Amino acid sequence: MTVLKQYRISLLFIAVILALCFVNPPEVPDKLCMTDFDKLIHFLMFSGLSGSIFFDGSFHLRQKVSSRMVFGGTFLFPVAFSGGIEIAQEYLTTVRSGDWADFLFDVTGICCGYLVGLLINRKLKTK
């Protein structure tokens, strides 16, 4: 139960990402260039997820965490989660499809969140 309490912000991010990635997308007029906007949303969702995992893992920026936690929590888990979503969209839904470009933007956002986490973690003091 403590994990659920400690990572409540990250779990909220995960729930929102799952909802956004599996809902039937609205019809968009051809005049709007939604592909670029969609990629920006992927970048922001996953940089936010990566950052929230770091934020929660460091007990809201109060203590330094191990480099293993920073790598595993802010990089490996979000990459696996993103890849799983793209695979599930491709093979388990009829209203969405997996997209390598989405995955690329997810990973780019994750890398940014990871790098920010590393920089912040260096500044935090160990309790």
List the helix and strand counts (H, then E) for the chain.
Answer: 6, 0
Provide the residue count of the chain.
127
Q: Three-class SS of residue 83?
A: helix
Query: Which range scores top for mean pLDDT: 1-15, 18-32, 98-112?
Result: 98-112
pLDDT value, residue 4: 84
Q: What is the largest CA-CA distance in the chain?
A: 55
Which residues, at least 6 apart from 12, have a Cβ–Cβ distance to it below 8 Å? Answer: 52
Stretch 8-19: mean pLDDT? 95
Q: What is the pLDDT of residues 50-90, one digit of tens each?
A: 999 999 999 888 888 898 989 999 999 999 999 999 999 99
| pTM for this prediction | 0.88
